[in-house]
Amino acid sequence: MRKFTTAADRWAGIGPYYAMFPASFADRVIARYTRPGQAVLDPFAGRGTAVFSAAVQGRCGIGIEINPVGWVYARTKLKPAERELVERRLAFIEGRARRYRREADELPRFFHHCFVRDVRAYLLAARAELDWRRSNVDRTTMALLLVYLHGKAGFALSNQMRQTKSMSPAYAVRWWKNHGLRPPDVDPRKFLEDRLDWRYAKGVPDCHSASRAYLANSAYRLAGLHQDMPHRAGLLFTSPPYFGLTNYHYDQWLRLWLLGEEPNARRKPGRHRAKFENRERYAQLLNTVFARAAELCTPNATIYVRTGRQKITCTTTRRVLRAVFPRHRMIRRVRPFRRPTQTRLFGDHSVKLGEIDFVLRPQ
């Protein structure tokens, strides 16, 4: 269990995200299979847990993530902006929020049940004014907004909602009405500034300077990544999407709205952005990504892949890994779930098979 006594511990958890690596698990894998100075590659980086763990342990963490929400988290953890600069941006957004009150009133009804008017206006100002793609200060500010955008009552800017997953607008409104819940009347700037005290109490993490997180599709970005890497990776450490399990973009629709998407849960699927339900395309994605990642690894690199035990997910991943790394010896480690999974929170009480780790070492 983390005791949050270091800056790394306090920043590791930035980014509530569905089906994420436990930070302690990433720490153990990287410490065991790499040496300081080596590169660690994660082509399905999510919120950047593996990349961050590598960076704070003196390794060069390199990650690629297609979802902007996960990328904002990952980039922020690698290089958080100074607290004073973040506080200035929070104050600036407060000053601009008055201009967005009319637009706040015109948002779909979900937003009226989720946030009070002042919060809606503040979020709209942040959505319009923060240049999170280019500015490190704006990205850090946006990352903190995304963390507290929705969550448990008293711990977020929203009405009661799960923190890791954005609920369907219609479902959420019905649930709030049935339970007589109203959005909290909070001052968004003060709420966020109060959270800065804890986050910055130990400073900011000291990360390997060459560590990077890229906002891109790994199926394409890996092809030219060798130009940006200081050397080949000694560890390929990742968890690819599971077949037919979830749509990470739909699950984060509300946070994606804050990043500039439309104010509804309808997602443009995209070939690699939707819920994977076509077996051939799923296998093709894994094969393309792992084959291109292999070219960025040393011949004696360790390949560590965590995936689901569902039949299609497991067999496809195993088959692709054996084909891409024929000279490696594969070890399988079954990881049963010891506690109820997050899907139980959404009414799914079926028995889950757990996960499986495929560890490939050179023979």
pLDDT in tens, 51-90: 999 999 999 999 999 999 999 999 999 999 999 999 999 9
Strands 60-65 and 212-215: parallel
Please name the residue ranges forming H helices in 13-168.
23-33, 49-56, 68-78, 83-97, 101-105, 109-114, 117-129, 136-147
Query: What tokens does 26 get?
Result: 């990433």
Residues of the chain with CATH 3.40.50.150: 7-78+209-241+276-362
Confidence of residue 214 (pLDDT cuts 50, 70, 90): very high
Is the pLDDT reported for residue 47 higher than 90? yes
Short-list 259, 262, 253, 254, CA closest to 131: 259
d(CA 74, CA 2): 19
Query: Which amino acid does the sequence have at 44?
Result: F
Q: What is the pLDDT of residue 147?
A: 97
Q: pLDDT exceeding 90 applies to what percent of the chain? A: 82
Task: Name, in order, each residue with C-beta under 8 angstroms of 23's C-beta and a sequence gap of 6 or more.
Answer: 2, 12, 13, 49, 52, 53
Predicted confidence at residue 68, as pLDDT, reads: 96
**The CATH fold of domain 7-78+209-241+276-362:** Rossmann fold (3.40.50)
Judge residue 84's burial from the number of C-beta atoms within 10 Å of its C-beta, 0-12 exposed, 13-18 middle, 19 or more buried. exposed
**43-52 mean pLDDT:** 96
| Cα dihedral 313, 316, 321, 322 sign | positive
Q: Is the pLDDT of residue 341 over 70?
A: no
pTM for this entry: 0.92
Higher pLDDT pick, 146 / 341: 146
- State the pLDDT confidence band at 22, using cuts at 50, 70 and 90: confident
Q: Report, as an integer, the average pLDDT of 94-106.
A: 98
Amino acid at 175: W
Q: Please determine, for residue 340, whether its predicted confidence score (pLDDT) is greater than 70.
A: no
pLDDT of residue 18 exceeding 80, the answer is no
C-beta of residue 144 within 8 angstroms of C-beta of residue 199: yes
User: Tell me, what's the pLDDT at 358?
Assistant: 97
3-state secondary structure (DSSP) of residue 209: coil
Task: Inform me whether the pLDDT recorded for 205 exceeds 80.
Answer: yes
Query: What 3-state class would DSSP assign to 361?
Result: strand
Task: Give the pLDDT band (50/70/90) at residue 20.
Answer: low
Distances (CA, A) of 175 to 63, 110, 161: 37, 11, 10
One-letter amino acid for residue 300 of the chain: N
